[in-house]
Structure 1
Amino acid sequence: MDLGLRGKKALVTGGTRGVGRGIVLALAHAGVDVVTCYRSESEHVASLERELKEIGGDHLVVQADLTQPVRVARLLEQVRETHGGVLDLVVNNAGAISHIPYEQLSLDEWQRVLATNLTAAHLVVQHALPLLRAGSSVVSIGSKAVDAGIPLRSHYTATKAALVGLNRSLAKEFGPRGIRFNVVALGVVETENLHALPEADRRLMIERYSAKTALGRLGLPEEVAGAVLWLAGDLSRYVTGSTVSVDGGIS
């Protein structure tokens, strides 16, 4: 199915692994030119570059620590140079998580997760605004943890809840300019982190969380990408300020 995305320009943060990688590859296959970034060097960077080259298009994979405001500014300058001053889609995917009892949660860790999950998204959007135009779409990757509440993740859940509020306000503020803002709230998705667990732990995680979903299984990165592709194009042109759950009916 042609979604009408060919030739559009996108920025996806944190796109070399997991959900972000699935989004980048799906966009590239749909004919979108993508800039994506990563924080740390790994084998995933080179393999993504190879895959994008095989797909074809005008893509760029760059290193950027989004907790550093000066690096966010440089990233968006690279986007401007690569995409010719135009940006049709921004996907705020880069994120950080840890599991810490609230009583033991240090200020440093609170600020690290806040800087990665919330402040970086804010800075990316601010710097992207001069490149966005009527019809552009901004998608932030959220979490069903906002609704459920999960022990040991109070700092993470707080940032994802804040993204929902930011999204609603930006949708109202920039709606007159024709720029849409939405959140995609995820359940449990199979990524490299899950598959890196010892086999017994991996099996237990899959069984436990699959049983909580209506579909009886975990999600896949390409299924998250499907929602992002929909929000990127004209099929969703009247959808803004919304939170779209991609969670398999988790409860």
Structure 2
Amino acid sequence: MDLGLRGKKALVTGGTRGVGRGIVRALAEAGVDVLTCYRQESEAVASLENELKETGGAHHVVRADIAYPEDVTALIEHARTEYGHLDLVVNNAGAISHIPYESLSLEEWRRIVDTNLTGSHLVVQKSLPLLDAGSSVISIGSKAVDAGIPLRSHYTATKAAIAGLNRSLAKEFGGRGIRFNIVALGVVETENLYALPEDQQKLMIERYSAKTALGRLGTPDEVAGAILWLASDLARYVTGATISVDGGIS
């Protein structure tokens, strides 16, 4: 199905691994020119660059850590120089750690907040001059906001804040025709899962699959499907919404 995305310009933060990589690949395959970023060099960066070359299009994979304002400024300037405007911004880059709240240091709190909340805020704010009517801004959220997960209080707090930010921005920029939405994820199969020892992998898959209505975990491609829809004119009357892509997790 042609979603009418060919030739559109997109920025996807944190797009070399996991969910972000799935989004970047799906957009490129739909004919979107994609700029994405990574924090540090890795085989994943090189392999994504190769995949995008084979796909075709004006794609760019650059180093930028959105926890640092100067990196965000450089990233948006890259988008302006290469594309002139943006039709889609996907706030995907994020950080997570698992720490008992009583032991949570201020340094770690700030690290997670700087990346997940302040970083996303800066990406959106600095992208605004490149966004016109019909543009779509999508942030990756988490079902942890509804469920609450021990050891992730700092992470969950940032995702809850993103939800509030999204609702406010949808109201503030609706008159300009810019849409703001969230895709809230359950448990998605990524390389992080398969980096665990085999026994832990099996336990995680069984435990979280049993919590879903569909009886399985999600995939990055399935997340990307929701992104493609929200980026297209099929969702032109959808804004301020949180779309759950979680397999019906409880």
Helix, strand or coil for the counterpart of 2:99? coil
2:78 aligned with 1:93: no
Task: Give, in angstroms, the shift of residue 103 of structure 1.
Answer: 0.2
Task: Give, in angstroms, the shift of residue 41 of structure 1.
Answer: 1.0
What letter matches 1:34 in structure 2?
A: V
What letter matches 1:37 in structure 2?
A: C
Helix, strand or coil for the counterpart of 1:88? strand
- Which ranges of structure 2 fall in alignment gaps of 5 or more residues? none
Aligned structure 1 segments of 4 or more residues deviating by more than 3 angstroms: none
Aligned to 2:57: 57
**Superposition pairs of residues 9-158 of structure 1, within 5 angstroms:** 9-83=9-83, 85-158=84-157
What letter matches 2:40 in structure 1?
A: S
What letter matches 2:126 in structure 1?
A: H
Q: Residues of 1 paired with 2:201 and 2:40: CA distance?
A: 25
What letter matches 1:12 in structure 2?
A: V
Task: Give, in angstroms, the shift of residue 76 of structure 1.
Answer: 0.2
Q: Residues of 2 paired with 1:192 and 1:115: CA distance?
A: 24
What letter matches 2:53 in structure 1?
A: K
Task: Give, in angstroms, the shift of residue 242 of structure 1.
Answer: 0.3
Q: Residues of 2 paired with 1:4 and 1:221: CA distance?
A: 21
Q: Residues of 2 paired with 1:62 and 1:93: CA distance?
A: 15
C-alpha offsets along residues 195-217 of structure 1, whole Å, 9 cap, x if unaligned?
A: 11110000000000000000000
2:233 aligned with 1:234: yes
What letter matches 1:9 in structure 2?
A: K
What letter matches 2:71 in structure 1?
A: R
Q: Residues of 2 paired with 1:107 and 1:40: CA distance?
A: 24
Helix, strand or coil for the counterpart of 1:73? helix
Helix, strand or coil for the counterpart of 2:249? coil
Task: Give, in angstroms, the shift of residue 40 of structure 1.
Answer: 1.2
Aligned length: 250
Q: Residues of 2 paired with 1:66 and 1:249: CA distance?
A: 31
Helix, strand or coil for the counterpart of 1:61? strand
Q: Residues of 2 paired with 1:82 and 1:53: CA distance?
A: 16
Aligned to 1:188: 187
2:213 aligned with 1:214: yes
Helix, strand or coil for the counterpart of 1:3? coil
2:201 aligned with 1:202: yes
What letter matches 2:28 in structure 1?
A: A
Helix, strand or coil for the counterpart of 2:137? strand
Q: Report % sequence identity.
A: 79
With structure 2 as the length reference, what TM-score do the two structures score?
1.00
Task: Give, in angstroms, the shift of residue 222 of structure 1.
Answer: 0.4
Task: Give, in angstroms, the shift of residue 171 of structure 1.
Answer: 0.2
Q: Residues of 1 paired with 2:75 and 2:163: CA distance?
A: 24
Aligned to 2:172: 173
What letter matches 2:38 in structure 1?
A: Y
Task: Give, in angstroms, the shift of residue 65 of structure 1.
Answer: 1.2
Task: Give, in angstroms, the shift of residue 245 of structure 1.
Answer: 0.1
Q: Residues of 1 paired with 2:174 and 2:94: CA distance?
A: 26
Task: Give, in angstroms, the shift of residue 105 of structure 1.
Answer: 0.2
What letter matches 2:124 in structure 1?
A: V
With structure 1 as the length reference, what TM-score do the two structures score?
0.99
